[in-house]
Structure 1
Amino acid sequence: MDNGPAPFLEIGRRARDLLTRDYNYDKKFSLSIPSSSGMGLTATGVMKDEIFVGDISSQYRSEKTTVDVKVDTYSNVSTKVTYDVLSGTKAAISFNVPDQKSGKLDVHYLHRHAAINSSIGLNPTPHLEVAAAIGSKDIAIGGEIGFDTSTSSFTKCTAGISFNKPDFSAALLLTDKGQAVKASYVHTVNPLTGTEVAAEMTHRLSDFGNSFSIGSVHKVDPLTLVKTRFTDNGKVAFLSQREWRPKSLVTVSAEYDTKSVNVAPKFGLSIALKP
C-alpha cells in the first residue's frame, strides 16, 4: 500500500542503511543472472580469513507464487515458497535441509492503515513472532513480540515510532525488552547530489551507557557514491561504490580503529555483476 505504513521492521531502516549497508571487510563476489521466463540464478562467494564460503540461489516467479532455493558450500538447502493469497496478503513457508525443525510459516498483511507480519515455527514447540505497525506512510507506530513456547518466555519485545518525509526520517525504538532506547535521524542535505547525513544513538537503561554512530553519503557523479561513518568507540569507516555498468557494482570499504594504532586497518572488496 503506497499510502499505508511500512512494516514495523522498516522503522529506522533508512538511517541504518546509510550507516551500515554495503560496508564489507572481506573479498566478496556475486553474479546474478535474471531470466525473462521467471527463473533467476545468483552465485555468491566470500573469502574471509583465508576461508572461502559460497552459495547458489535460484528464484522462480509465476503470477502468484515465488519459490526461492539456496544451496551453500556445506550442502545446506534453504527453501521458501511465497504465495499471494489475496490483495495485500502473502503467506510463505520456509524450511532448511537437513534441519527438520526449521520449518516456519510467515503471513504478511498490508492495509492502507496497518501492516502486520506474523511467524510461527512448524514444530511441536514453536517460536512465535508478531509485528504490527499502524498509521500512514508519514507517521507510524508499532511493536514486535517474540515468544518461545519451549521455555514459556518472551524472546523479543520492541516498540517504536517513526516520522517520514521526502527530505528526512526520524525513528525512536524501545528495544532489548525495554532495556535500551534507540533514536535515529537521517536528513537529505542536497537532493541534487544525493548528499545525506544520519545519526543513531543508543541509551542502555540497565547501566546508563551510551553509544552512537554518525555517517554521510554523497554522490560524486550519477554512477559513483562515497560514504563515511564514525562511531563512539573510535572507528572510522569509508566506502566507495561505482556502478561500472547497469546494475553491476564495485565497492571498496575500509575501517580504521583510532584507539588501536597497532592494529592494521580493515579493507574489503565487493564485486556484484548482473548481466
Structure 2
Amino acid sequence: MVKGPGLYTDIGKRARDLLFKDYHSDKKFSITTYSPDGIVITSSGTKKGDLFFADVNAQLKHRNVTTDIKVDADSNLFTTITFDEPAPGLKSIFSFRVPDQRSGKVELQYLHDYAGISTSVGLTANPIVNFSSVVGTNILAIGTDVSYDTKSGDLTKLNAGLSFTKADFIASLTVNDKGDAVNASYYHVVNPLTNTAVGAELTHRFSTDENTFTIGTQHALDPLTTVKARVNNYGRASALIQHEWRPKSLVTISSEVDTRALEKSAKVGLSLALKP
C-alpha cells in the first residue's frame, strides 16, 4: 500500500464521514447476494416521502478488473469498469450511462509516496476536463481541484486545500467555489479502543456572509454497536445508532430534531443492509 498524501477527495474526509455519513431521514434497504460464478448482486430501495426509488447493481471482479452494472427503476443503465494497477500506483476508470450518449467518461488515478493525481475527461466532442492533484506526505499535503469546460472555455470549478495529519488528529482547510467558500474541519481521536472521536466543520460563504458550524462525536458502545451525534449552529440536532447484527449486515436508525421548532415532528430514518 502506498503511504502518501492520497487524493484531493481525501482532504477533510474523516471529519465529513464523522459528521455526515449514515445520517438520513429516509427508509433504505439493501440485500447483497453472491452467485457461484463470483458475481455480487445488490438490490436496494429508498423511500422518500411518497416516492420509492429502487436499483439493482451487479459487480464482477476478474483479476485486476472490476465491472459494476447498475439498473434503476427508470431503466437507466450505469456501467463502471475499473482497472486496478495496470501499472504500479495507477488506476483507470471508464464509466457511461445508457441512454445518455454524452455521459461517457475516462478517469485516471495515480498514487505515489509524495503525490496523488486524478484526471478525468468526458467522451464528447467538447468535454469537461477535471484535474486534481495533491503533493506532500501522509502528514502534510496541499492540493487543488480544477474543472475546465472546453466548449465555453470557462473554469467551472476551482478549489484548493491543505491537510495536516498526526496520529490522533487531522486538520484541513479548503477554499471552494472559486474562492466564495472557505471550509475548515478538525477530526480528533479521543480513545482508539472505543472508536471515540470528535469532529467539527466551519464553512463561511462570502457571497451571502453565511456561516455554518457543525460539531459531532462518535463512540462504540461495544465492538458491534456505534452511536453518533451532531448539532449545528441552526439548532438542528441529530443522532444515530448503528449495529452490526451479523458480519457486514448493518441496521442504522437516525433522527433529526429542530431545537428551534420543537413543535415539529422529528425526522427519523431507517437503513437496513443485509449481506450473507
Give the shorter-chain TM-score range.
over 0.9
| Aligned residue number for residue 183 of structure 2 | 182
- Taking the aligned partners of 2:36 and 2:12, their CA distance within structure 1 comes to 35
- Taking the aligned partners of 1:273 and 1:210, their CA distance within structure 2 comes to 39
* Superposition deviation, residue 261 in structure 1: 2.9
| Aligned residue number for residue 14 of structure 2 | 14
Which residues of 2 match residues 126-205 of structure 1 at below 5 A?
126-205=127-206
Structure 1 unaligned residues grouped into runs of 5+:
none
For the residue of structure 1 that corresponds to 2:194, the secondary structure is coil
| Aligned residue number for residue 223 of structure 1 | 224
| Aligned residue number for residue 110 of structure 2 | 109
Q: Which amino acid aligns with 2:110?
A: Y
Contact 1:2 1:137 in 2 (8 A): no
Which residues of 2 match residues 92-107 of structure 1 at below 5 A?
92-107=93-108
- Taking the aligned partners of 2:50 and 2:207, their CA distance within structure 1 comes to 39
- Taking the aligned partners of 2:226 and 2:83, their CA distance within structure 1 comes to 37
For the residue of structure 2 that corresponds to 1:192, the secondary structure is helix
Q: Which amino acid aligns with 2:113?
A: R
* Superposition deviation, residue 37 in structure 1: 4.4
Contact 2:158 2:176 in 1 (8 A): yes
Structure 2 unaligned residues grouped into runs of 5+:
none
Contact 1:193 1:218 in 2 (8 A): yes
Q: What's the TM-score, normalizing by structure 1?
A: 0.96
- Taking the aligned partners of 1:7 and 1:38, their CA distance within structure 2 comes to 30
For the residue of structure 2 that corresponds to 1:86, the secondary structure is coil
* Superposition deviation, residue 103 in structure 1: 0.5
Contact 2:93 2:107 in 1 (8 A): yes
- Taking the aligned partners of 1:200 and 1:35, their CA distance within structure 2 comes to 42
Q: Which amino acid aligns with 1:268?
A: G
- Taking the aligned partners of 1:125 and 1:137, their CA distance within structure 2 comes to 36
| Aligned residue number for residue 27 of structure 1 | 27
| Aligned residue number for residue 5 of structure 2 | 5
**What CA deviation, in whole Å up to 9, does each residue of 1:238-271 have, x standing for no partner?**
1000111111111000000112233211001000
* Superposition deviation, residue 28 in structure 1: 0.5
- Taking the aligned partners of 1:24 and 1:166, their CA distance within structure 2 comes to 30
* Superposition deviation, residue 138 in structure 1: 1.5
Contact 2:109 2:117 in 1 (8 A): yes
* Superposition deviation, residue 4 in structure 1: 1.3
| Aligned residue number for residue 124 of structure 1 | 125
Contact 1:254 1:266 in 2 (8 A): yes
**What CA deviation, in whole Å up to 9, does each residue of 1:68-95 have, x standing for no partner?**
1000011000001112321111211111
Q: Which amino acid aligns with 2:181?
A: A
- Taking the aligned partners of 1:184 and 1:173, their CA distance within structure 2 comes to 9
* Superposition deviation, residue 208 in structure 1: 3.2
Cα gap change, 1:118 to 1:36, in 2 (>3 Å): farther
| Aligned residue number for residue 237 of structure 2 | 236
- Taking the aligned partners of 2:80 and 2:124, their CA distance within structure 1 comes to 17
Q: Which amino acid aligns with 2:133?
A: A
Contact 2:2 2:112 in 1 (8 A): no
* Superposition deviation, residue 205 in structure 1: 2.6
- Taking the aligned partners of 2:34 and 2:228, their CA distance within structure 1 comes to 29
- Taking the aligned partners of 1:220 and 1:49, their CA distance within structure 2 comes to 32
| Aligned residue number for residue 64 of structure 1 | 64
* Superposition deviation, residue 110 in structure 1: 1.1
